[in-house]
Amino acid sequence: MTALVVAALAPLLVYIYPPAGNTKRSSLTVSLKKALSDLANGDATQFDAPKGSAFVMVSNYGGSDNAYGDPAFSGFAVKDQAGQLSVFAVNCSHLGCSIAFNNDAKRFDCPCHGSRFHLDGTVLHGPATAPLSRLDWKQGGDPGQIIVQGVAIPGL
C-alpha cells in the first residue's frame, strides 16, 4: 500500500522536493524482487528507495522533465533483448508520472499520456521526447541487491 501511495504521489513529490544536486549523496542498498542474475533478456524488476530517501537521477536530457540531480522514489533494473543491464528512474521523461513495465510488449508504458519506451530507455512513442533517466548503480554484495546513489529526504 505504501509503495502504491508513493508511486501515485511521485510526480508531485518531485516538485515539492528540490533537486538533489547539491545535497550530500550516499549509497543506498536496495533489495530486488528478482536478482539481476535471474533476469532473462527482456525482463525487468522494480524496486523502491528505502524509507526517508530518494535515488538521484544522473542523466540530463535538455528539454525533458527529468534533470540531473532530480529525486526518484522508485526505479527499474532491466536486461534488454541483447542482455545489456540498465537501471532507470521510474519517472517518465514527459511530466514525471511513474512508468510501468509491460512484460507482454517488452517495453515501458506511461499511464498518464501514453508515452512508450524501449527497454534501453529510448523513446518508442511520445509525447515524451527524451529517454528515461538512469540511476548510478553497482552490484551489491548479495546477488539480490544493488547499490544506488541517493540522498536523504527528511520527513518522508
Binding site for ligand FES (CB under 6 A): 92, 94-97, 110, 112-115, 127-128
Min. distance of Cβ 113 from ligand FES in angstroms? Answer: 3
CA distance 84 to 43: 11
CA distance 26 to 136: 11
CA distance 38 to 31: 14
Q: Which is nearer to ligand FES, 78 or 92 (CB)?
A: 92
Min. distance of Cβ 55 from ligand FES in angstroms? Answer: 18
Q: Which is nearer to ligand FES, 53 or 91 (CB)?
A: 91
Min. distance of Cβ 69 from ligand FES in angstroms? Answer: 19
Min. distance of Cβ 75 from ligand FES in angstroms? Answer: 16
Q: Which is nearer to ligand FES, 120 or 152 (CB)?
A: 120
Q: Which is nearer to ligand FES, 94 or 107 (CB)?
A: 94
Q: Which is nearer to ligand FES, 14 or 148 (CB)?
A: 14
> How many CB atoms within 10 Å of residue 136?
16
**Strands (DSSP E) found in 50-141:** 53-56, 71-72, 74-79, 85-89, 100-102, 107-109, 116-117, 123-125, 137-139
CA distance 55 to 133: 11
Min. distance of Cβ 123 from ligand FES in angstroms? Answer: 10
